[in-house]
Amino acid sequence: MQNLERLSAELKEYLVERPDIVVTNHFNPDGDAVGSATALCGVLMQLGLKVKMIMPNDYAANLKWMTLSEEVLFYDQAEAEADTYLENAGLLIHLDYNNPARSGPMELAIRHSKAKKLMIDHHQQPDDFCDWTYSDTSMSSTCEMVWHFLEAMGWTELLSKDLAEALYTGIATDTGNFRFSSTSPLTHRVAAQLLEKGVENQKVASRVYDSNSISRFQLLGRTLNQMEILEDFNTTILYLDQKDLDACGFQKGDTEGFVNYGLSLENMELSAFILPRDGGHKLSFRSKTSFDVNQFARTYFEGGGHKNAAGGKSDRNMEDTIAYLKDCLKSHQEELKSYASIV
């Protein structure tokens, strides 16, 4: 990890060579990933640099209003073209992920790239694969970090209202609208400066949250109807199987945030949400206070993330995934019970 001042000085020196830049983010890009990529890309374009955004796969429709959205190349839809950009790049920027594996189908292309690499990320345990690593796990979001990065580079003046709205979106979505404990005084200061750039927060919120599809509502109904409450573990298990997804006409992004419903239930410390993915299952974990879901996901589900928000995967079928999860919880029962009692 490097100090931001030194990192920005070195980077400025390298940018004098005007390298071709590729901005990337993680598989299934969320608001923070898309917001940070589009905002940073917009600033680099204003500097007259050649920059391309390549994301591993498509993202939810409620983020498509963001400026520069139409400029994105999706790796899983245009692999050959994307590989050419990655091969020719002089600088790769990795936003909102800290390990090439999190970029899904782009992993090998990233590992093989000879470009210089810059990471800006707030997840735990960053991999050491970049020339410049700006990693800070105390940060609310990568979008907040991009603001600090722009400040260090002396580029905040280049952030237009549209680009500021992209950053604001990532901060708002990653903090659960300034609710999670990762929201610091500094987060609010950055948000305030973005508002001063003209961000229309009500418009951003409306575009992100007031665009529910009927399929999302139907899926939410099913999720809540079939949830399992493990009172002895202060844990809620939510899931949707393939039959549920097919019956409701699942579209990408429909289940975003469902995992949080499990935590809004009285006394719950842990919520898990399970969804079919790639022949196996994807799990999302959220904890309310001190239960470390990053560690839990790493230990049992080949995953990771943050202390209070993490994800992982399982190769088992749904029934066995739930049984395995319950088994894993057994060795954490005391922690889960004691955390809930201190809220």
Give the interface with ligand 5GP as residue ranges (CB under 6 A).
Answer: 26, 102, 123, 284, 303-306, 309-313
Write out 281-338 in H/E/C secondary structure.
Answer: EEEEEEECCCCCHHHHHHHHHCCEECCCEEEEEECCCHHHHHHHHHHHHHCCHHHHHH
Distance (Å, whole) CA 103 – CA 26: 5
Confirm if 256 and 275 have CB atoms less than 8 A apart: no
Select from ligand 5GP, Mn ion, none the partner in contact with residue 313, using the beta carbon and a kind-dependent cut-off of 5 to 8 Å: ligand 5GP
Residue 255 touches which of Mn ion, ligand 5GP, none (CB < 5 to 8 A by kind)? none
- Identify which of residues 52 and 123 has a Cβ nearer to Mn ion in the complex: 123
Cβ distance to ligand 5GP smaller for residue 95 or 152: 95
Minimum CB distance to Mn ion smaller for 43 or for 146: 146
Smallest separation, CB 203 to Mn ion (Å): 22
Q: Which CB atom, from 19 or from 304, has the smaller least distance to ligand 5GP?
A: 304
Residue 311 contact among ligand 5GP, Mn ion, none, beta carbon within 5 to 8 Å by kind: ligand 5GP
Shortest Cβ 284–ligand 5GP spacing (Å): 3
Q: How far is the CB of 174 from Mn ion (least distance, A)?
A: 5
The site for Mn ion (CB under 5 A) is made up of 32, 96, 142, 174
Nearer to ligand 5GP, 116 or 306 (CB): 306
Report d(CA 328, CA 173) in Å as an integer: 29
DSSP string over 99-152: SGGGGGGGHHHHHH--SEEEEEE-SSS--S--SEEEE-TTSS-HHHHHHHHHHH
